[in-house]
Amino acid sequence: MHELAITEQIVEAVSARCGEGERVTRVVLEIGKLAAVVPDALRFCFDACAQGTPLEGARLEIVETPGVARCGACGGQVLLDRPFGHCGCGSSDLEWLSGEELRIREMEVI
């Protein structure tokens, strides 16, 4: 359940960017398909971690980015929904292009 520790980091980072008396109404995260983080688990932790912070009551939006890799053998692009796989040409020599994102994109404050 590393999502709990990760959510705590999110709440801490966002709180630190709040001005005095500001309240966070929305947080937008970008989570890659290959980031080893389960969005539903983050949502589950978010409300609990936000309590008593400027994020209390904030809406959590999660943008999921697909896992995309380039094949080292044929140069083709491969869509990955798990952290390993094969290209259509048979090669498993894959360079990941996206899917490992674990970022706080933006926050809305009032």
Using CB under 8 A, pick the residue from 66, 92, 97, 99 that binds another protein: 92
Rule CB under 8 A: is residue 87 a binding residue for another protein? no
**Alpha-carbon gap, residue 27 to 104, rounded angstroms:** 8
Q: How far is the CB of 10 from another protein (least distance, A)?
A: 6
In order, the DSSP letters of the chain are -HHHHHHHHHHHHHHHTPPTT--EEEEEEEEETTSS--HHHHHHHHHHHHTTSTTTTPEEEEEEEPEEEEETTT--EEEESSS----TTS---EEEEES--EEEEEEEE-
Window 22 to 41, contacts with another protein (CB under 8 A)? 22-23, 25, 29, 36-37
From 32, 49, 50, 54, residue interacting with another protein (rule: CB under 8 A)? 54
Q: Does 103 bind another protein (CB under 8 A)?
A: yes
Chain residues in the site for another protein (CB under 8 A) = 1-2, 5-6, 9-10, 12-14, 17, 19-23, 25, 29, 36-37, 52, 54, 56, 82-84, 92-93, 102-110
